[in-house]
Amino acid sequence: MQNFTSKLKLSSERILIEVDKVSIIIKTIFLRLGCSEKTSRAISEHLIDANLCGVESHGIMRVLQYAEQMQNGTINVNSEPKVITTKTGATLVDGGMSIGIPVMTLAYDTGMNLSKKNGLSALSVINSAHTGRHGAFADIAARKGFLTICTGGGNRQVHNQVAPYGGARGMLPTNPWCIGIPGGDQGPVVMDFATGKVAGGWLYAARSAGAKLPEGCIIDRDGNPTQNPNAYFDGGAILPMGGHKGYALSLMAELIGEAMLGPSSPECNWFLLTVDTKRFRDPSSIKAAAEEILNDIRNCPPAKGFDKVEIPGERERNHRELSNGIVAIPEKTWKQIITLSNKLNKDSHT
């Protein structure tokens, strides 16, 4: 297994666990919480894959968040997402306040099916809890020949996490953007990032693991820079990625998610564009042209402190391949998951 890379500066060790063992425990947790077999398996597979890809902010640590929300009623474990066509002809996926991973799977599947017929589709996703790692959905769609552009925003009164450029208080959610497109010989190119310096999941991951965050990501309630995730939860804020540029992207997502799509709950509203790239060029030509572009970029001499120039999406796939089916989890986080599992198992037998 490769050396694990992470944004977290841990105060404790990681433990290495085989995927099959982790899968059984996570799947059982969600079964005990009332999810169906299909949903429990989908959540488990998605979260584990995020860890294998090195994106632990959207990985196994989310078990704790999802479980808490299912127990307090924020997430409806008995609801299934459905596709609706509105009176004005818009397509939307209504999550019914359910866990968002199956919701977003349905959204991407619907977008691809519609764009097969029409060349292009646009749809919204509403009433969904946390939707997982969007790069995973975009990668699947790109492998099937689709360009996807997805962004989410809204509910800033609840998720006032990120300070606007020039501001010292959290005012906006992390409002992500994700774009996936068919690539060259090494697969799709996928851009997936929050518009804050870090995704909200990294804050929860750091707190769960007792870790520090990288410098320059968050400020405390007085506007001072800090690496302590607890300072964020005590009234601090995330700084915008790229200064004014990240702020502008976040504000656009907020306007799309709330001004255009309406009030959002419990997380945010999502807008997904899907394009059938075969309408513009045959797949072999796209792949050849993409590989020429990407190969040029890879051959750029690396700057001081870097080993090479990387292509968005390739690091995650390489990380997964090199993991050899082993998940590296912060010890403190895994202990919390095991404690949750033991409690749910005990409660189910009483």
Distance CA 344, CA 43 (A): 17
Q: pLDDT per residue over 305-326, tens digit each?
A: 999 999 999 999 999 999 999 9
Q: Look up the pTM and report it.
A: 0.91
The Cα-based distances of 223 to 76, 197, 230, 234, 247 in angstroms read 37, 15, 14, 12, 17
pLDDT for res 241:
94
Helices (H), the chain: 19-32, 37-52, 62-71, 100-118, 134-143, 200-209, 229-233, 244-254, 283-298, 314-322, 331-348
Q: Which of 76, 254, 78, 95 is nearest to 162 (CA)?
A: 254
Give the tokens for residue 321. Answer: 């391949």
pLDDT for res 4:
54
pLDDT for res 11:
58
Find the domain containing 46 and state its range: 14-348
Distance CA 57, CA 192 (A): 13
Residue 328 lies in a domain: yes
Task: Report the chain's mean pLDDT, rounded to a whole number.
Answer: 93
| Per-residue three-class SS string for 135-154 | HHHHHHHHHCCEEEEEEEEC
pLDDT for res 140:
98
Provide the percentage of residues in the chain whose pLDDT is more than 70.
Answer: 96
pLDDT for res 206:
87
Partners of 270 in the β-ladder: 125, 152
CATH of residue 152 = 3.30.1370.60
Residue 32 lies in a domain: yes
Q: pLDDT per residue over 131-177, tens digit each?
A: 999 999 999 999 999 999 999 999 898 889 999 999 999 999 999 99
Question: How many separate domains does the chain show?
Answer: 1
Neighbouring residues of 80: CB distance < 8 A, sequence distance ≥ 6 = 96, 98, 102
Least confident of 87-101, 204-218, 329-343: 204-218
Q: pLDDT per residue over 50-65, tens digit each?
A: 999 999 889 999 999 9
